[in-house]
Chain A
Amino acid sequence: MAKYIIKRVILAVLTIFLVATITFFLMHNVPGGPFVAEKSISAQAQAALNEKFGMDKPLGIQYKNYMNGILHGDFSLSLKQRGWNVSDIIKSRFPVSARIGGLAVLLALAVGIPLGSVAALNRGKWADNLIIVLATCGIAFPSFVICTVGMYLFGVHLGWLPTFGLTSPAHYVLPVFALSFYPMAYITRLMRSSMLDVIGQDYMRTARAKGLSPAKCLFKHALRNAILPVVTYVGPMLAYTITGSFIVEKIFVIPGLGGQFVSSITNRDYTVIMGTTIFLASLIIVMNVLVDIVYKIIDPRIQLK
């Protein structure tokens, strides 16, 4: 186990390094720059800005300096948001996105797993068909459709829920729901197909034959085996969801990391782009390692290599 984790960590560091390198050079080779768009800026001021952020040096040196900074835990200053450190930006924005994203994933799991199981246990009956139709709709509707239609229906038309900001629990309802829609549908489908697979297995028949109650069969044997594919999916999905969805954050005016990331890309705020990308990539990789470990806990037969 320890050897496995060490191996994964080394691979992870290598991957993050490569991702950071690719992002760095790709970003700098794209036409435009952080200070180009500002109209009233003189050539001198621009040169001074470039010098201040070390952008007058050759790209190779800039890369070396930046990587050196990261190794010392310094993600440098934002180029556009004066006086803000990139790690402070992530620290202030990430909790907002993580709260909404975490709630959305919890909701998706809490609804998706039971729905998928119910569908599988009632295969071919009306409940199964209804759940399949709902789940397919959930996969087909883009998030902006869910957001906007939900906003129109509950926010504007019925006036039950606030449509923007994040100041009270009621504000969370629409964004969390919109975010959880796709993963919920996906988990339902995954759960249904893996549950169908499991309840056809021999050990399920054995469990019933030795007199276990159907409920115990379901919770002790079926669920535990059927949930593995869901765990695989939830790991990376959790990483993506808690770092924020640009669409949801834009529509509901939420100051999260997703919106920050996209605006930093359009503004060419190089340091924020780099910091967020590295943060996101590490989260995804950490989640994948966690998934493997959770796997081992759920199914002790699995050997980690």
Chain B
Amino acid sequence: MMKKNPLSFQLNPDDFLPATEEERKSLVQLRPSVSFWKDAMRRLRKNKIAMVSLCVILVVMIFAFVIPSFYPYKYEQQIKGAVYLSPMTFSADEQARIAAGEKLFPHILGTDNLGRDYAIRVMMGSRISLLVGLIASAIILLIGSVYGSVAGYFGGVTDLIMMRIVDIIYTVPDILLIVLLSFSLKKPMAALALKPGFQWIQTVGVNLISIFIVFALLYWVGMARIVRSQILTLKQSEYVTAARALGAGSGRIIRKHLLTNCIGTLIVTTTLQIPSSIFTESFLSFLGLGVAIPMPSLGSLASDGLNGLNSYPYLLLAPALLISLIILSFNLFGDGLRDAFDPKMKS
């Protein structure tokens, strides 16, 4: 070993000797590569609020989709002499049957003005609300991302015209469009439902389908704006230039490169769209423009409950609180997703 002059800048050559086998081994860290999804999922799982919201959403889904199929009462079934029962009570007729040794399931939330079990109606109502939220958001995702990416990618005059259309749809009061569209859709939909191959419309309900269409026609504009702004920045990336140089067509670039790269934003925006669709549906049902009687939705249940507010507050409170809970958990879950998928967007 060389003697080192403490004042010189001379380097210690020993530091530059080749590493021994053990040293090499200790330096190599074998860590599995973390993909985009795994990374996001790990961050999501750490977020307690988001996980609790997810559990709440799952529980509500079980209540809405699974339990009604083996619940002892049906949502449109009217029980004789059981009008406006308080929660956990029975009608005189049912009490007689219980006295005779029969076992009856209690009316957990009582019954409504037509003697229908309220708990099952609330469950069916949340089924409709969830369906509207999920399906409408899926349609909005589809239209909005296609429209926004085309406008953003092609730019120029195309972008200008497409975005002016979006501005105009934004300016027309949405309640006007909703009412007019749902009125004008009713007849053609009913006619279509009678044709062979379209019978499924009848089973789903003409009203419900027209709500989907109305939402799809109206609310994609927000999604389109967000996607467009993402595409505007993404299309400047080198990989897009490279793809174009390699001869990829516009359709392929949008599908394979641009949309896949804003998948995080798409997921987050869609998740946050679900509660706002549920919100709007409940508002429409509250106005009496939602799903058809006797099918309940949480909004129409709350609207009906308003009439008996003085004597039967639980008829209003049950659906009102449930809908708030659903919207709240979707919002919190969406916030968690945003933090997980796109930490930069965090507000």
Contact = CB atoms under 8 A, between A and B. Distances in A.
22 contacts: A26-B177, A30-B180, A31-B186, A136-B332, A140-B324, A142-B323, A143-B283, A144-B282, A144-B299, A144-B302, A144-B303, A145-B324, A148-B305, A152-B317, A156-B309, A192-B347, A246-B175, A247-B286, A261-B173, A262-B175, A280-B173, A281-B173
B114 interface: no
A277 B177 CA distance: 11
A142 B183 contact: no
B172 interface: yes
Interface string A118-131: 00000000000000
Given A31-B187, A139-B331, A140-B324, A277 B179 contact: no
Nearest to A240: B173
Interface stretch (A14-22, A41-49, A64-72, A101-109): A14-22
Interface in A255-294: 261-262, 265-266, 273, 276-277, 280-281, 284-285
Contacts of B299: 142, 144
A141 B176 CA distance: 23
B342 to A, nearest CB: 14
Contacts of A276: 173
A196 to B, nearest CB: 8
Interface in B179-220: 179-180, 183-184, 186-187
A72 to B, nearest CB: 23
Contacts of A148: 302, 305-306, 309, 316, 320
A137 B321 CA distance: 11
Interface residues of A, number: 43
B287 interface: yes
B5 interface: no
A213 interface: no
Given A19-B172, A137-B328, A148-B302, A142 B179 contact: no
Contact of B347 (A139, A189, A280, A281): A189
B171 A19 contact: yes
A136 B179 CA distance: 29
Contacts of A22: 168, 172
B173 A145 contact: no
Contacts of B168: 15, 18-19, 22
A27 B183 CA distance: 10
Contact of B183 (A15, A31, A136, A273): A31
B310 interface: yes
A140 B183 contact: no
Contact of A145 (B323, B332, B347): B323
B320 to A, nearest CB: 4
B172 A265 contact: no
Name, among B187, B279, B321, the residue most crowded by chain A CB atoms within 10 Å (CB to CB): B279
A163 to B, nearest CB: 9
- What is the predominant secondary structure among interface residues of chain B facing chain A? helix
A15 B169 CA distance: 10
Contacts of A76: none
Task: Name the residue among B183, B305, B335 with the largest chain A CB count within 10 angstroms.
Answer: B183
Nearest to A20: B172
Given A29-B184, A30-B183, A265 B302 contact: no
Nearest to B302: A144
A223 to B, nearest CB: 18
Given A30-B184, A145-B320, A246-B287, A140 B328 contact: yes
Contact of B310 (A156, A246, A251): A156
A9 interface: no
Given A142-B282, A189-B347, A152 B316 contact: yes
Nearest to A265: B179
Interface in B315-336: 316-317, 320-321, 323-324, 327-328, 331-332, 335
A32 interface: yes
B167 interface: yes
B275 interface: yes
Nearest to B169: A22
Given A19-B172, A144-B283, A31 B184 contact: yes
A265 B289 CA distance: 12
Contacts of B305: 148
Nearest to B180: A30
Nearest to B317: A149
Nearest to A266: B179
Contacts of A23: 172, 176
A136 B331 contact: yes
Interface string B145-182: 00000000000000000000001100111011101100
A285 B171 contact: yes
A38 to B, nearest CB: 17
B187 to A, nearest CB: 6
A113 interface: no
Given A15-B171, A136-B332, A276-B173, 10 more contacts: A30-B184, A31-B183, A136-B335, A139-B331, A144-B302, A145-B323, A149-B320, A193-B347, A266-B179, A277-B172
Contacts of B287: 246-247, 250, 262
